[in-house]
Chain A
Amino acid sequence: MSDTKTKDASATEGQTDRRLNMIEAVNEALDVMMERDPNTVIMGEDVGYFGGVFRCTAGLQEKYGKTRVFDTPISECGIIAAAVGMGAYGLRPVPEIQFADYIYPGLDQLISEAARLRYRSAAEYTAPITVRSPFGGGIFGGQTHSQSPEAIFAHVSGLKTVIPATPYDAKGLLISAIEDNDPVIFFEPKRIYNGPFSGYYDKPVEPWKRFEASIVPEGYYNIPLGKARYATKGDELTILAYGTMVHVVEAICREKGVEADIVDLRTIVPVDIETIEESVRKTGRCLIVHEATRTAGFGAELSALVTERCFYHLEAPVLRVTGFDTPYPHSLEWAYFPGPIRIGEALDKILSE
């Protein structure tokens, strides 16, 4: 294997080198928090006996019992609302919405209730809820199993939105999200549950275990919300991305020999403005990549922030590469997805200015 990140797993067996995929990492974060805090409860469609359609809650009902890990009716409004009530009681609910595309019936409970309880009650009541939901496309899920609705939540005051890109981050960020005393939307990019994605849908998926980011320590650790990480360091430009697209841009930069600061935002609200400014001031060029639709997407916010704060350091206009403003198509998924051609051309353009 030519990938420099690849390690021979068999040669480095041991506690510190346990390699997990993102599903196992999410499962472990839940397990750790269920163990540490008896007020943590998990609820959602198919999360109990079955362990979730993506297996993220596998084994947890058996371990913690039916009153702490349980199935729910197919009612996202009810799931979020019950979590709000449980939070008011003093529990720390971690509801799962089976697909982010199904979160909309729960939006009023999230936007008008969970997000504002602390404010409207002057902190008498809070909503220490973490809503986990698999999101994003690239799995032939069609318009109802592929969306990336993060910008909707980023627009709401009182919500934090977290999107991990690696198993290591998924565990540490989910632990922080559950420990947070405010509501957190935790979107899990399902395309990279089993391995990072290069953007080439016709190439086989490389499993996570071949990558160092799949080394996940046992037990408790956390990664603070609101702190980005450099996926790669380079001087030619800054690329702001999160979730699946971190890996897509990484693969394309490698392929094109572009040395980029790839900033994996990890949390979009609050966004790590310090790291963004630090990188853009250094490189003078900024490309923003997300899978979600373009208009009023989170890329627009990032572009505005970079332009407002780093304008005099810029040597080229800030560019966005995004999904198109259509519903997520089924058969034309790969024409929709911001893949190697769209990103490659944007790289060429921004580097030629």
Chain B
Amino acid sequence: MADRPQGTAKAGDNRPKLSLHVPEPKFRPGDAVDFSHIVVPEAGAQPRPDETTDPKDMLDFAHGLIRVLGEDNKAHGPWDPKLDPETLRKMLGHMAMTRAFDERMFRGQRQGKTSFYMKCTGEEATSVSASMALAADDMVFPSYRQQGILIQRGYPMIEMINQIYSNKGDKLKGRQLPIMYSSKEHSFFTISGNLATQTPQAVGWAMASAIKGDSRIAATWVGEGSTAEGDFHSACLFATVYNAPVILNVVNNQWAISSFSGFAGAERATFAARGVGYGIASLRVDGNDPLACYAAEQWAANRARANAGPTLIEFFSYRAEGHSTSDDPSGYRSAQEREEWPLGDPVMRLKNHLIELGEWDEERQEKMDLEAAEYVKKTTKEAEANGILGHGLHHPFRTMFEDVFEELPWHLKEQSEQAIHERKTKFPEGLPEA
């Protein structure tokens, strides 16, 4: 019989002690911020491969940073999408409108008009510019921070506000948390609120489009933090296995509520690099450069439409505000980060580019911002006529039991009768609504 280890020493005492690494962001509240570790290559320095390039031959694109707009406010290099000034002004307009909308809705939440809101400040290009590079009937599966897509696609703003207020005009009948929009008409999938679930669904939609010999492609957006979910990996796997016509957009805004990107693996690899292991063409893009965002999305769309397969795009950006109305970023990160962010602000960069081109000026910008704010204000007023959250002007009570199934089964019928009874007990003088 073999001897067991004897004595007081524990097994393995002569080996070095193990230690657990728990990631820690570089800067916490009050810290001076120095982003010099972030490598920012020259705009225009990146080559542009053909859209049908084998992913094996473009591995560098998962680690570099595609940039078009330089410090000189000019467009550089082969990724310049060469958009005409009118298109650039439209892009700027959608981004300015998105920002104005965010400002107003955030304030509305603070005024108690709704329960919740999420801004996309600093990330407007990742939705507006990317969406402009798609066809209007390409199907998008967004996360919760792509309001820019709806604004770009011309979804009526009053519908967005009705949804945020969960009022009687809300097409979703007050069932979803604010900002979880849905618009089939605008090829915009119903936002879940659970994280990353939309990514493999987008792949399934794209597979269906390919099964049917359609020409429409799918695109999905997910935050870098949510790429930690298994769903994202299922999405990558199904996308590559079936060569699905899909674009997987990862918006790396550095923060997932209070958890920095290191908790999703950013200390070890880029998010674009996740595509490499799956054999997916992967691009890492300056997410605050509207032209680069457009160009990368267009590249991926061309690739998908040519049956050349999926693309994973990491938009390297920065969440300039809190995660939502429910958190205060000054409690977990340095306020200097926003000012020091080396890639600037997408709205300012596009504005300065247009000015540099001689196609824009500060006066017009001011006028546009003012008009956007006025438009949002006016539309908000219109929406408020339909009610704000908790003030009684919500969807008719009977709708609570609708749409669980196509038809109401007996048990839900019984429960709805109970609910109606409770309603009558609460309001014996008569119901407050039809």
Let me know if B230 is at the binding interface, CB within 8 A. yes
Q: Mark B237-271, 1 if CB is under 8 A from A, else 0.
A: 11001000000000000000000000000000000
* Residue ID in chain A nearest B176 by CB atoms: A120
Q: How far is the CB of B62 from chain A (nearest CB, A)?
A: 22
Let me know if B416 is at the binding interface, CB within 8 A. no
Let me know if B15 is at the binding interface, CB within 8 A. no
Measured CA separation A121–B172 after assembly (Å)? 6
Q: Mark A95-124, 1 if CB is under 8 A from B, else 0.
A: 000000000010011001100011111111
Pairwise interchain contact B404-A122, C-beta atoms closer than 8 A:
no
Q: Which of B204, B403, B410 lies in contact with A119, CB distance below 8 A?
A: B403
Pairwise interchain contact A81-B172, C-beta atoms closer than 8 A:
no
Measured CA separation A109–B235 after assembly (Å)? 12
B interface, size bucket: 35 or more
A residues less than 8 Å from B235 (CB atoms)? 78, 81
Let me know if B325 is at the binding interface, CB within 8 A. no
Secondary structure dominating the interface of A: mixed
Pairwise interchain contact B405-A182, C-beta atoms closer than 8 A:
yes
Q: Which of A68, A112, A226 lies in contact with B409, CB distance below 8 A?
A: A226
Pairwise interchain contact A120-B175, C-beta atoms closer than 8 A:
yes
Q: Which of B197, B200, B403 lies in contact with A123, CB distance below 8 A?
A: B403
Q: Which of A89, A108, A117 lies in contact with B209, CB distance below 8 A?
A: A89
Measured CA separation A118–B197 after assembly (Å)? 16
User: Can you add 7 more A-B contacts, CB < 8 Å, to A78-B235, A89-B204, A125-B190?
Assistant: A85-B200, A88-B139, A109-B231, A112-B194, A113-B194, A117-B190, A182-B406
Let me know if A346 is at the binding interface, CB within 8 A. no
Q: Which of A67, A85, A120, A182 lies in contact with B201, CB distance below 8 A?
A: A85
Let me know if A181 is at the binding interface, CB within 8 A. yes
B residues less than 8 Å from A180 (CB atoms)? 406
Let me know if B48 is at the binding interface, CB within 8 A. no
A residues less than 8 Å from B199 (CB atoms)? 81
Pairwise interchain contact A81-B237, C-beta atoms closer than 8 A:
no
Pairwise interchain contact B175-A119, C-beta atoms closer than 8 A:
yes
Q: What is the number of residues of chain A that contact chain B, defined by CB distance less than 8 Å? A: 46
A residues bordering B, Cβ < 8 Å? Answer: 41, 67-68, 72-73, 75, 77-78, 81-91, 93, 105, 108-109, 112-113, 117-126, 157-158, 160, 180-182, 226, 269-271, 273
* Residue ID in chain B nearest A111 by CB atoms: B194
Let me know if B207 is at the binding interface, CB within 8 A. yes
Pairwise interchain contact A112-B197, C-beta atoms closer than 8 A:
yes
In B195-221, the 8 Å CB interface with A consists of 197, 199-212, 218
B residues less than 8 Å from A87 (CB atoms)? 204
Q: Which of B176, B192, B208, B237 lies in contact with A89, CB distance below 8 A?
A: B208
Q: Check A122/B171 contact, CB under 8 A, given A91-B211, A181-B406.
A: yes
Q: Which of A68, A75, A117, A118 lies in contact with B211, CB distance below 8 A?
A: A68
B residues less than 8 Å from A89 (CB atoms)? 139, 204-205, 208-209, 212
Q: Check A41/B211 contact, CB under 8 A, given A78-B234, A78-B237, A124-B184.
A: yes
Q: Which of B171, B197, B211, B410 lies in contact with A109, CB distance below 8 A?
A: B197
Q: How far is the CB of A197 from chain B (nearest CB, A)?
A: 30
A residues less than 8 Å from B143 (CB atoms)? none
Measured CA separation A121–B203 after assembly (Å)? 20
Q: How far is the CB of A66 from chain B (nearest CB, A)?
A: 10
Supply 13 A–B pairs (Cβ within 8 Å), ascending by A.
A72-B238, A75-B234, A78-B234, A78-B235, A81-B197, A81-B203, A83-B204, A88-B205, A109-B197, A120-B180, A122-B171, A122-B172, A270-B410
Pairwise interchain contact B189-A75, C-beta atoms closer than 8 A:
no
